[in-house]
Structure 1
Amino acid sequence: MADKEKKVPTSRYARAARIGRLGATQSVKQMGTRAANTVRSEEAGRAAMERRQFEAAEQLVTVLGTMKGAAMKLGQVLSFLDVGLVPEEYRAEFQVKLAALRDAAPKVAFKDMKKVIEADLGDRLSAVFSEFDEHAIAAASIGQVYRATLREDGREVAVKVQYPGVSAAVRADMQNLGMIMRIIGRLAPGLDTSALADEIRERVIEELDYELEASNQRRLARIYRGHPFIVIPGVVGDLCRERVIVTEFVEGQGFEEFKATCTEEERDRLGEIVFRFYFGSMYRFLQFSGDPHPGNFLVMPDGRICFLDFGLFKTIEQRVADVELHSQRLTHERRGQDLVTYWRQEGFLTGAKEMEPDRLLAFADMATGWYTKDEPVQLTPEIASDIVLGVSTPMGEHFARMRHESMPPEYLFGRRLEHLTLAVLGQLEARANWHRIAREWVYGDDPVTELGKAEAAWLASRHA
């Protein structure tokens, strides 16, 4: 690949040109397919359009992955939400493409990344590291990760480095986001592209500051120190800068490798740990990573799970958590009228038309039933997609009624965490009685699983 192809385009117009070419190409192809369909049988015409839809979605993923920055972040969101961008018969093939985008973004030449490291650390690479593997071990939306050894004390570390020019690229993407959303809207007309755009604009800029991410990671590492099955890598604080973050290196299996070889028992155990980490962090500690996706954790050889990447991070007030938990209790206990009264009091119901209790309970069941109903549930990509699309897009049965209501902004980030955790569990196809696990923080119940009992013992020792 030529050097010019490895560079991240940073100007708004250069990046818009790539997106524009994609949109124009797909529009022409779809028009051609529709014209050809006039002389095809209905079945052949439908098959041709479905193939064209798959090709458009595949090309979109390719372009977003090449662009990196906020555009690639959008591609990653699509990759683990599985929002039904392609017809059913192409899903398996498309998931392979999405997994590649999620776990192995296109690489930037090391000589360019080295310049960023040395500029931010203010020293030669060889002066800081005794060994530095030039081959990236992971790639994310705005940077790459390398394995190295510290010269000072011989520790093995992971060095995450931002792509050169990615800050300007992200800001250019923010201006072009509407164009990207229009392309996605043609692929998935039911997707609420406006809400997705707002979410990306609000949060993606935070990821550019690795010093902020290091602070977030340090906080969670303190909280989870000594945990029986959750690991947060330590941060090498004096080597963290705006574009470089250095952390303890952790060996482990990635999501796709683990999923390909794991047993059902191992799959379900990982699902419970993922659920406990993301939901438990929010409700127990009022601070949590806001970016659950399969690329952000490793399965360590001893069975513990290492969680990574804390650029998107949120701290909430106790009152916000209390409202969430009380709403979950009212839903589980089928107290529909009390839920209507409570949601109107808290600003969730603002429409002039009075909400019917049964209608609100049906909506809450659609959104949270997988963990508010006391029964085992095996999650799948299809179930996760149905839930997310069912509560947030025009294809959902409750959209027409709920679109007139409101969601106070302090609760939006929690919904993101909930939906994306669900998406990960769906990709894992994990099975559990999620409600019985959640009761530990919803009702303060004693744990009923072995993992729960181990965590309860750790919490007791931590409080002591």
Structure 2
Amino acid sequence: MRRMEFRRLRQIVREVHRSGLGRMLVQTQLWHFLPWHKRLAEPPSINHEDVPQKLATIMDRLGGAFIKLGQLLSVRPDLVPQEYCRAFSKLQDQAQPLSYATVRRILIEQHHREAFSKLRKEPLGSASVSQVHTAVYQGKDVVVKVQRPNAQEAFAADIAILEHFASLAARHSKHPHVSFDAIITEFKRYSKEELDFHHELSSIQRFYDNFSKDKHVIIPKPYPEVSSSKVLVLEWLHGQKLRNSLHTMPSAERTRLATLLVNAMLKQVFEDGLFHADLHPGNVLVMPKGKLGLIDFGIVGYWSDTRKDTALRMLAHFWRKEIGLMADAIEEICNAHVELRLRNLFEEELSDIVYRVHDEQLGKGSTTTMLFDLISACVRYQVRMPRDFVMFAKALVTVEGTAIELDPDFRIWDVIDHYVHGMLRKRHIGHELYSKGRRVVKVISRLPERMERIMDRVEDGQLHVEMELQPAELRDLNKHLDKSSSKVVLGLIAGALLVLAGLTIQLGAPVLLGLPALSLIAVIGAIILLLLIVPLPRE
């Protein structure tokens, strides 16, 4: 262990002891890092209900990577239990400001010595990773974000210690569903992005392009030519912080801005595939002419076209209370399946969540409860939500809180309902055929896997079937099995033809009878095959 890490470890141990969690030091074999006189007394027993808040206090005192870890975990109910998310959500990242001379030196090192005029000495804000100043660049007001010296080295030391803690904590954890390895892996990825400003610059450029023609939402213009891995330069938006504007804002205007904000977030998610996941009131500005400005793009999420499609279907099934189809969509999002023997229990939990939210008439505060319960249910059934979907949940919960601060009577589900159904109405027949064809292929392609599970249970003696068949009946059974196999193959071909029809319509092709010729042929072929599988009833 390097000297820097050793000093930091002793500081951590002292803070853990100071917070009344000394017994954890004994369990993790770190008790001997305390001064000898503090080791004389027996550590007090731990009230596990107090642990989340005490850990949050420790993180706050340690600062640096520990606050960043707490902030990350506060939005990841898939990694830690809800009570820890709530405790960590109160952490604020503040640090002692850097001197003006230090900021100037960093700019010189990054080859930006002559780029800025009127660099303001007092920072707008100072945090564990960076500090922000205002300046003028090419005659325009900008904000300059400068990374702290040795920030990367300090984070590397803290991460090395956290890895050691994780290996020890895993042996004594009271939460079997918590993966400490997954937490450290995710924090490493997060820290790597946080410490390289190129990553944030790229995201902001995409946001700026996505909203360049929007008449109601403003994104600060990035200046890549004077930015680097340790310096980020953006347009300074001259707007008022949201909370500072509320006391002079009419009620109707508050409702309009709340709706505008939620629709902007939904556009980012379901149309752009890149969304701001931290739209709390401090990151939203009220601009002139009733516009909104969005700032601080440190926490963002990414969605593929496939994810957008599946999530829209999941929300549609939620509103229609189609529990089985909603469970299918969740499995598709997670790219995993609930064990067959637990599927009914999983659907029962989903049903409880869905009907509870509907019974509350989709009222205020239901978003947080529903999403956290949904993610917790997935964790219990070992269907882990992917990071990008958890980020969407975090984004939705945060923007709902901001909207309610604007308008206490705001109902976010009304806006989401209108938006999602509008998106579904925009979808033409080709997309519907494509989606249905994919579902047909998915259902049929999973039959071998489900049959294999059943056969495994038979081999393990967990499934018993009693049958009495006469020889003639056995021959009939063989015939039925042969027919069933043929129907499975025909079903797969029919599903593939529907997929082909949908893709052809979306791509555009020569039209015949209102449909592209190839699509029409594919649809007719699929219908014929489906009639072979399920013949029409005879009179």
TM value normalised by structure 1: 0.69
Please tell me the residue identity of whatever aligns with 2:60: T
| SS of equivalent to 1:327 | helix
Q: Give the structure 1 partner of residue 97 of structure 2.
A: 107
Distance 1:193 1:254 in 2: 38
Alignment of structure 1 residues 124-135 onto 2, 5 Å: 124=113, 127-135=114-122
Q: Which amino acid aligns with 2:421?
A: Y
State how far apart, in whole Å, the 2-side matches of 1:10 and 1:270 are: 53
CA distance 1:429–1:30, change in 2 (3 Å): farther
Equivalence for 2:106: 116
Asked if structure 2 preserves the Cα contact closer than 8 Å seen for 1:212 and 1:311, the reply is no
- Displacement of 1:441 after TM fit? 4.7
Gaps of 5+ in 2: 25-37, 426-539
Match of 2:307 in 1: 320
Selected match of 1:27 from 4, 16, 20: 20
Specify every segment of 5 or more residues in structure 1 that has no aligned partner in the other structure, as ranges. 1-8, 39-44, 448-464
CA displacement, residues 8-56 of structure 1 (integer Å, 9 cap, x when unaligned): x994434433322211222367999xx9999xxxxxx99xx99x87983
User: In the alignment, what sits opposite 2:66?
Assistant: 71
Match of residue 152, structure 2, among 154, 164, 167:
167
| SS of residue paired to 1:288 | strand
Q: What's the offset of the Cα at 1:349? A: 2.3
Q: Which residue of 2 aligns with 1:60?
A: 58
Q: State the alpha-carbon separation in 2 of the partners of residues 243 and 146 from structure 1.
A: 14
Q: Which amino acid aligns with 1:132?
A: L
Aligned partners of 1:313 and 1:268: how far apart in 2?
25
* CA spacing shift, 1:341–1:313, aligned 2, 3 Å: closer
Alpha-carbon distance in 2 for matches of 1:327, 1:61? 37
Taking a change above 3 Å as real, the CA distance of residues 28 and 441 of structure 1, as seen in their structure-2 partners, is closer
Instruction: Give the aligned partner of residue 407 of structure 1.
Output: 384
1:349 aligns to 2:337 (yes or no): yes
* Sequence identity percentage: 19
**1:218 alignment partner in structure 2:** 205
Q: Which amino acid aligns with 1:112?
A: T
CA contact (8 A) 1:278 1:288 kept: yes
Deviates more, 1:193-202 or 1:348-357: 193-202
By relative contact order (CA 8 Å, sep 6+), the higher-ranking structure is: 1
What pairs with 1:315-394 in structure 2 (closer than 5 Å)?
315-344=302-331, 347-356=335-344, 358-362=347-351, 365=354, 375=361, 377-379=363-365, 384=368, 386-387=369-370, 389-392=372-375
In our comparison, the structure showing a higher alpha carbon Rg is 2
* 2:393 alignment counterpart: 418
Which amino acid in structure 2 is aligned with residue 413 of structure 1? D
Q: How high is the TM-score relative to the length of structure 2?
A: 0.61
Cα-to-partner distance string for 1:316-348 (whole Å, 9 max, x where unaligned): 321121111111111211112233445456634
C-alpha deviation, 1:440, in angstroms: 5.0
Specify the SS of the correspondent of 1:281.
helix
Q: Could you tell me how far 1:174 is from its partner in structure 2?
A: 2.6
Q: Match for 2:160: what amino acid?
A: Q
Report the CA distance between 1:210 and its aligned residue.
Answer: 1.4
Cα gap change, 1:316/1:358 in structure 2, threshold over 3 Å: closer, same or farther? closer
Counterpart secondary structure, 1:251:
coil
* In structure 2, C-alpha distance between the alignment counterparts of 1:391 and 1:261, rounded to whole Å: 38
Matched to 2:306, the amino acid is: R
Q: One-letter code of the match for 1:72? A: I
Q: Deviations over 1:242-285 (max 9, x none)?
A: 10011111123335545788676565555434433333212111
Contact 1:374 1:435 in 2 (8 A): no
Q: Say which SS state the counterpart of residue 111 (structure 1) adopts.
A: helix
One-letter amino acid of the structure 1 residue matched with residue 337 of structure 2? L
Please report how far the alpha carbon of residue 198 of structure 1 lies from its aligned counterpart in structure 2 after TM superposition: 4.4
Letter in 1 for 2:148: Y
Structure 1: distance between partners of 2:56 and 2:204: 34
Tell me how far 1:115 sits from its aligned partner: 1.8
**Partner Cα distance (1:275, 1:434) in 2:** 8
Instruction: Answer yes or no: is the 8 Å Cα contact 1:292–1:420 preserved in 2.
Output: yes
Is 1:438 the counterpart of 2:416? The answer is: yes
| AA aligned opposite 1:59 | T
What is the count of residue pairs matched by the alignment?
Answer: 398
Q: What do residues 378-421 of structure 1 show as CA deviations (whole Å, max 9, x unaligned)? A: 238xx73x45653445xxxx47xx5233236xx32222232243
